[in-house]
Amino acid sequence: MPTLFPPFSQPRRPCLLAICWLGAVSLFLLGCGRPPPTLAELPPPEVSVTRPTRQEVVDTVEFTGNIEAVQEVEIKARVSGFVTAIHFIDGQDVSEGDLLFTIDQRPYAIARDSAAAEMAKQQAILAEQKNEVVRKEKLLPKGAVTQEEYEIAVAQRDATAAMLAAATAQREQADLDLEFCQVTSPVTGRVSRRFVEVGDLVAGTDATATTLTAVASIDPVYVTFDTDERSLILARQRALEKIGDTGEAAPEWRDIRELEIPVDVQLVTDEGFPHQGLLDFVDIAVLEGTGTVRCRAVLPNPDRLMMSGMFARVRLPFGDPRSALLIPERAIGSDQGNKFVFVVDGQDLVEQREVSLGFLRDGMRVLEAGLEDDDRVITSGLNRVRPGITVRPHEAESDETAAAPTAPTAAAD
């Protein structure tokens, strides 16, 4: 029977293993004899640094608020009838007393004339009865009329006088109804869209009165917000102290309007807080559930940009002006809730410095502690640095937001 492998194939296997082992040892010895490759040393990363800016600031606190119209009136029909004319364009400016709608006047003109006729009738009857009372009063001493006849004449005169008063009231009501057919604007402002059209039947009863349109005043406007009691007390105390600084005796209590506490407002599209107003109302009680007080400020709206219902940020100052350091917000990092910045020392080594922050001011954060005026803070290239490495710092120009003092903007988180 033939074999699958030739007789000499079995003894050659150990030789092949020995040859492979010798080759591996040779390669290892050759590799150990070579010098290791030289690694290129990376240059220090370039970073931009800036020094803190010292400015005068005022401590503030921010709240969320809403814009409200000083006067906002929903105009409803006061008489029933068909709308015969509309005298405005949706959204136009109107003045107090401007004609907005006309309701069919003919039925009310007829009622007015009828009431006028009834009043004239009662006036004529009353005049005749007055003469009758005078005549019988003269005849009573002579016995020409009895006492009973005289008293009946007086009673008829008084009853007619009462009927005349009722007819006069009906005439006045008819005049009012006729006047209510001319619907005018009660305030100066901007009118909303029309809710009815010419030819519509409107109701004028109190329970089912038809809404015709609405008018809201434009300038000035209110901004309402809820403030915590601590901030309100501090703001009031500061206002009283300012009054005392002028030499005037500061009373224990003064109306909120007299204190003239400033309020700054920011809309959703604003940079900073460009709108200024004055606090003019504080509610009478603190809300137990939230510990806040409803406040209201009035501010001018000459460009008519602010409308009722708009969202707004409200800033309320509560401290005295003080000197503080500010750094760009982008330079601040966070580590498990702790705020820090990277600082470059005199040997260009990076140091991580923990800082205490105040409020935000036009992209610059107020520092309460952690830095000095001459510290160099890294503002860009932060992803390339870590504490202890050497860097190549480049002085960056100060932010244009820090070039000139402006009003403080936001409270610290």
- Which residues are bridge partners to 352 per DSSP? 342
* Residue 368 or residue 77, greater confidence: 77
Tell me which architecture the domain covering 47-55+321-402 has in CATH: Beta Barrel (2.40)
The answer to whether the CB of 52 falls within 8 A of the CB of 183 is no
| The dihedral sign for the CA sequence 358, 311, 290, 287 | positive
At residue 270 the predicted structure's pLDDT band, cuts being 50, 70 and 90, is confident
- 345 pLDDT more than 70: yes
pTM above 0.75, yes or no: no
Right CATH for 73-216 from 2.40.50.140, 2.40.50.100, 1.20.1530.20, 3.20.10.10: 2.40.50.100
Q: Which residue intervals of the chain bear CATH 2.40.420.20?
A: 47-55+321-402
The answer to whether the CB of 389 falls within 8 A of the CB of 351 is no
- 75 pLDDT more than 50: yes
**Cβ contacts of 394 within 8 Å, gap of 6 or more:** 46, 47, 48, 49
Alpha carbon distance 378, 345 (integer Å):
11
Alpha carbon distance 254, 250 (integer Å):
8
In this prediction, residue 252 carries a pLDDT of 62
In this prediction, residue 120 carries a pLDDT of 94
DSSP 58: -
In this prediction, residue 14 carries a pLDDT of 52
Q: Which residue intervals of the chain bear CATH 2.40.50.100?
A: 73-216
* Terminal Cα distance for the chain, rounded: 95
| Paired sense of beta strands 81-86 and 99-103, if any | antiparallel
Give the chain's mean pLDDT.
Answer: 82
Q: Which of 328, 316, 320, 322 is nearest to 279 (CA)?
A: 316
At residue 246 the predicted structure's pLDDT band, cuts being 50, 70 and 90, is low
- Give mean pLDDT, residues 90-115: 93
- 296 pLDDT more than 90: yes
Which token pair is 284? Answer: 């009478």
- 161 pLDDT more than 80: yes
Q: Which amino acid is at 334?
A: S
Instruction: Pick the range with the lowest mean pLDDT from 6-15, 134-143, 391-400.
Output: 6-15
Right CATH for 61-70+221-317 from 3.30.750.24, 2.40.30.170, 2.40.50.140, 3.40.50.300: 2.40.30.170
| Helix, coil or strand: residue 40 | coil
- CA dihedral in degrees (245, 249, 251, 252; nearest 10)? 60
At residue 224 the predicted structure's pLDDT band, cuts being 50, 70 and 90, is very high
